[in-house]
Structure 1
């Protein structure tokens, strides 16, 4: 864990203020919830080591990890992250940086650390590690899975050096609106509402094509919206013993007859919708709380790794009160 810091005047003002800001409260909660030792153990084997040739030593791994998590939680670019460390005392305290004695990582150092995590797919390992710990503690039960997907917009402008849009993104019609970007498909534990699977594709890839990748094979029941109609006919689900509770098409539901049978079917669909609502909570956290409403990198792979890190952190946010520390 970070060592105690020598506080400046601004740090003292914030530390001993009568009222804590929402940002301070959030960071204190995540400080107690994040399994730091587990995360550090995943990154340590690939982190830069001092060499006999000398040169400036690398920043402490924990400092860089904390800065990276701040980037995810507050949707900060590499240059803006450097500025926020200079400008914001609570960020420096969380990162373990002493403004008087320590260097502050510049934007290039922050960029290189992010690239290191991407190169070794650390985000995917972190999501697996978090979910494994939650399963061992009985928080994630794995008896049911809720499937859903959301479209994340990408810049459609061609005002860039190449004069082209991102070739890996795609346009798709949703209702009467055309969107350009990627689609994030997730599988959510039906009991806890925690994300256990994340698959990223272009926006025009149908949800059914990734359904098998978002289930773990131990489900007794699988929930999905109307986009998953016909899932039992897919080769991956033939012989699957899990009960499929897929929503009726909205058009069919609207014309249900006003009879006892029609009203019963409508109540069943309402019950399904209430249960499926759990899948929207992780989307709300990454879009509204963490601010990931649009694609920030070019290509599916980079954004897929960012999403896996965000959903791992979203899982920790969801369980912060039930299970304050999973380490």
Structure 2
């Protein structure tokens, strides 16, 4: 105790960044709506030990996403970390969910495609609060690495993952394609593919149909002429190829106008980078955790739903306090 006092540590009042983060998530996650969603899809157990509450399991599942924990690591963390037990309402519980219970809950979400509905429910809540508009969409994709080692039980890499070359470097894994609100940067659509799938082929799947404008980088050149985008009435604003932009004559009025237009498009497209930064830097998601595109895409839906809440958490809390 004396050493704690000398160091200025007051364990009864000090709030860690992790504790503050969970306090914020407690306030901004629409728990009631999400629990109702899961309860409607979950079978009622009639035998055996009473199951854990859906909200408890959902909170554990979200903890895994926020802090990059596997099922086993989550089970151990529940025993070791009082903060996690407090957040899940298990501080005084006689038993804590083990890795099997955590795995079964994730399988429940995958079986009923509840991760997709979690994103939709979160976005419905944000739209009702005026935080998600529908006038414009920005689209992009990012690579997510997968283990390339064959030192596993099957002796092979994940057959649904592929390699692709970006610049002078080869990458093995998948791609997360997203469509975001051009005003707020909040994700409204997620598509998961193998890494070797061309970005432009997924463009039509990333718009919701109500936007008037779609913004994309130079990798989407020719998107407006593709067969699958012919029914989309929005205007496509695709970045000029870097080489073509470099030779613009900015000394001429037309050159200056075109260059300024590229600046404007780039500022709008920058919004799509924010969700990628949140899931990779804030939540630590830099490598797939499961085998197969379906499971990893389901996790991406949950991650981007949580990134949406994280990005607007301060505005949500201000509105709740007001």
Q: TM-score, normalised by structure 2?
A: 0.92
For residue 48 of structure 1, report the CA deviation from its aligned partner.
4.4
CA RMSD of aligned residues (A): 1.8
The answer to whether structure 1 residue 320 and structure 2 residue 313 are counterparts is yes
Find the aligned partners of 2:192 and 2:239 in 1 and give their Cα distance: 23
Query: Could you list the per-position Cα deviations for residues 40-92 of structure 1 after superposition, in whole angstroms to 9, with x for gaps in the alignment?
Result: 001112334231xx421111221111111101111100111011111111111
Question: 1:44–1:246: structure 2 CA closer, same or farther, 3 Å change rule?
Answer: same
Find the aligned partners of 1:210 and 1:240 in 2 and give their Cα distance: 13
Query: Could you list the per-position Cα deviations for residues 253-275 of structure 1 after superposition, in whole angstroms to 9, with x for gaps in the alignment?
Result: 22223422333322221221112
Question: 1:50–1:258: structure 2 CA closer, same or farther, 3 Å change rule?
Answer: closer
For residue 15 of structure 1, report the CA deviation from its aligned partner.
10
Q: SS of the residue aligned with 2:178? A: strand
Q: SS of the residue aligned with 2:313? A: coil
Q: How does 1:78-227 map to 2 (within 5 A)?
A: 78-99=71-92, 101-227=93-219
Find the aligned partners of 2:249 and 2:151 in 1 and give their Cα distance: 53
The residue that corresponds to 1:11 in the other structure is: none
Q: Does the CA contact (< 8 Å) of 2:176 and 2:193 recur in 1?
A: yes
Question: 1:15–1:137: structure 2 CA closer, same or farther, 3 Å change rule?
Answer: farther
Q: Does the CA contact (< 8 Å) of 1:48 and 1:58 recur in 2?
A: no
Q: SS of the residue aligned with 1:20? A: coil
The answer to whether structure 1 residue 270 and structure 2 residue 284 are counterparts is no
The answer to whether structure 1 residue 29 and structure 2 residue 55 are counterparts is no
The residue that corresponds to 2:48 in the other structure is: 55
Over 6 Å off, 4+ runs: none
The answer to whether structure 1 residue 307 and structure 2 residue 306 are counterparts is no
Query: Could you list the per-position Cα deviations for residues 192-235 of structure 1 after superposition, in whole angstroms to 9, with x for gaps in the alignment?
Result: 11000000000111111111111011111110000111111012
Q: SS of the residue aligned with 1:218? A: coil
Q: SS of the residue aligned with 1:321? A: helix
Q: SS of the residue aligned with 1:82? A: helix
Q: SS of the residue aligned with 1:173? A: strand
Q: Which residue, 269, 272, 282 being the options, matches 1:279? A: 272
Q: Does the CA contact (< 8 Å) of 1:147 and 1:223 recur in 2?
A: yes
Find the aligned partners of 2:103 and 2:133 in 1 and give their Cα distance: 37
Q: Does the CA contact (< 8 Å) of 2:250 and 2:259 recur in 1?
A: no
Q: TM-score, normalised by structure 1?
A: 0.91
Find the aligned partners of 2:230 and 2:62 in 1 and give their Cα distance: 41
Q: Which residue, 242, 251, 263 being the options, matches 1:259? A: 251
* More divergent stretch after superposition (261-270 vs 274-283): 261-270
Find the aligned partners of 1:316 and 1:303 in 2 and give their Cα distance: 20
The residue that corresponds to 1:9 in the other structure is: none
Q: How does 1:40-79 map to 2 (within 5 A)?
A: 40-51=35-46, 54-79=47-72
* More divergent stretch after superposition (82-91 vs 229-238): 229-238
Question: Mind listing any 5+ residue stretches in structure 2 that lack a counterpart?
Answer: 1-8
Q: SS of the residue aligned with 2:303? A: helix
Q: What number of residue pairs does the alignment pair up?
A: 310
Question: 1:248–1:85: structure 2 CA closer, same or farther, 3 Å change rule?
Answer: same
Q: SS of the residue aligned with 1:125? A: helix
Q: Does the CA contact (< 8 Å) of 1:43 and 1:122 recur in 2?
A: yes
Find the aligned partners of 2:10 and 2:45 in 1 and give their Cα distance: 35
